[in-house]
Structure 1
Amino acid sequence: MNDLPVRIRDLPPSCGPVRLVAVDGPAGSGKTTFARRLAAELCCQVIHSDDFPVPWEEGPGGWFHALESQVLRPLQAGRPGGFRRYDWVRGTYAEQVAVPPAPVLVIEGVGTARASVAGLLAYTVWVEAAEPVRLRRVLERDGPELEPRWREWFAAERAWFAADRTRDRADLVITT
């Protein structure tokens, strides 16, 4: 990742004045870890899909409209965006998160590099890992009682990514 921040900073703005970087890939692949490291090197804000409520049954596509309407479209117009972060532990919305126009913004999560906003993205990173590794990671994080839900989610992700062809548009593919 040594020269990646420099390459990103050298790109032209893609979403208004912002270089929008998406870190996408299936659950448990290491997106959050990678996005945090990249954002730290870029000295920029990172927004996680986990900041938004996503009902299991809606699959990977259900949360994005909030990010698009509250953050991406305002930034595209050169205005600040913002949203209320969802607190998964309490099951309610938490603090307001301001998203000012900045040189770079990283968005991370399943579906962030979707085809519908590909024109707003300056750079796309796809993070992947073998399914057994990903399943182990999410169960260690969230508890083994959620295994049936996670298996359903993995199937929904496979269908989502196949239809969207997300990986095919990635500028960088990382296997963890």
Structure 2
Amino acid sequence: MDFRELADLVLARRAAADRPIVVGISGYGGSGKSTLARALVEALPDAVRMRGDDFLDPYRSHRHSPDWDGVERERLVAEVLLPFREERPSEFRRFDWDAGALADPKPVPRADVMVVDLVGLFHPDALPALDLTVWCDVDLETATGRGRERDRAAGRDHDQLWAEVWEPNERAFDTAFAPREVAEVRFPTA
């Protein structure tokens, strides 16, 4: 599937729904989730992006876990995804990485389509709130290499975290939840 086909699929899914839809994009760290999400939002009419990094607990996401425990899926679903789909007013709090705490509440945006990109998103706690699931289909080694390079270019030395926490978390999440297999679309980002 190419990008235009993916955008057309999103539009068709929205046209068939009687409410706004949520497109979930997941993949390994460094797989291109954010890049794909930004491109989709730019290409689609009346679409918004919800940054998955706003729903990471910075402390728990830096520890090894079999289910990406640092991903606050329950908060994302309860505060954003369900209210968005149900077209009801709600507020959410992004994690402010500079302040090291949750930021002040902001209203959930309204649109026809919300695109959310997040590692560990395709988990049983979040899947029911997603109308279309897209896996950024690139192997773990390539994605990790990209992630490390991105971090280095931004002046962040996360090599130890990639090796000791994030890469093992990806492998454990794969074993437990098979996110690539549950995705409706496997979008090549290699």
Q: Is the CA contact (8 Å cut-off) linking 1:23 and 1:126 kept in structure 2? A: yes
Whether 1:127 aligns to 2:136 is yes
Whether 1:147 aligns to 2:159 is yes
Whether 1:47 aligns to 2:45 is no
Of 91, 109, 115, 2:118 maps to: 109
Q: Deviations over 1:2-60 (max 9, x none)?
A: 132222122133xx822110000110111100111011111311112111232212652
SS in 1 for 2:157: helix
Moved over 6 A (4+): none
Q: Is the CA contact (8 Å cut-off) linking 2:56 and 2:95 kept in structure 1? A: yes
- What does residue range 12-91 of structure 1 map to in structure 2 within 5 Å? 12-13=16-17, 17-43=19-45, 44-54=47-57, 55=60, 56-57=62-63, 59=65, 60-62=68-70, 63-91=72-100
Q: Is the CA contact (8 Å cut-off) linking 2:73 and 2:125 kept in structure 1? A: no
Q: Gaps (5+ residues) in structure 1?
A: none
Q: Is the CA contact (8 Å cut-off) linking 1:125 and 1:170 kept in structure 2? A: yes
TM-score (ref. length: structure 2): 0.79
How much has 1:95 moved relative to structure 2? 5.2
How much has 1:158 moved relative to structure 2? 1.5
Q: Is the CA contact (8 Å cut-off) linking 1:79 and 1:100 kept in structure 2? A: no
Identity %: 30
Question: Where does residue 183 of structure 2 map in the other structure?
Answer: 170
The number of equivalent residue pairs is 174
TM-score (ref. length: structure 1): 0.84
Distance 1:49 1:89 in 2: 16
Whether 1:156 aligns to 2:169 is yes
Q: Deviations over 1:108-160 (max 9, x none)?
A: 11122323333332211100323333233222232363212112211112211
Moved more, 127-136 or 162-171: 127-136
Q: Gaps (5+ residues) in structure 2?
A: none
Q: Deviations over 1:36-89 (max 9, x none)?
A: 101111131111211123221265233212101111232344313331222223
